[in-house]
Amino acid sequence: MDDRQDKKLKGRRYVKVFFTDATNVAFAFDKQGGEDQATLAANVKKAIEANKLAIEAEGILFIIPFENVKYIQVSPAPEALPTGVIRNAVIVD
């Protein structure tokens, strides 16, 4: 990766959607939803309750219903998370 690409990706967020048919798709994007912790937590909660994920990428709007999703990875995890989210867990085999 050259320096321009490296600078462009620094500070980016990533989401990878794993579908029930064993396929997946990944997106990179800039930080969304404001700076204050309450707004960030509210936006995460709203996204979870929507039962679908909406992402605009490269001029295309993707609407992904959660019925077709096995799980979603978001990296790095948002700083503010709604109540009930387990934090600081470790993946084990």
* pLDDT digit string, tens, across residues 24-61: 999 999 887 666 777 777 777 888 888 899 999 999 99
Number of separate domains in the chain: 1
**Residue 9 domain-assigned (yes or no):** yes
**Residue 92 domain-assigned (yes or no):** no
Q: Can you say whether the dihedral through the CA atoms of 46, 50, 55, 61 is positive or negative?
A: negative
What range defines the domain where residue 22 resides? 3-75
**Residue 83 domain-assigned (yes or no):** no
Chain centre distance of CA 71:
11
Are the CB atoms for 54 and 66 separated by under 8 Å? no
pTM of the full structure: 0.75
Name the band, by pLDDT with cuts 50, 70 and 90, for residue 4. low
Residue 2: its pLDDT value, please?
56
What does 4-21 look like in DSSP terms, one character per residue? HHHHHHTT-EEEEEEETT
First CA to last CA distance, the chain: 32
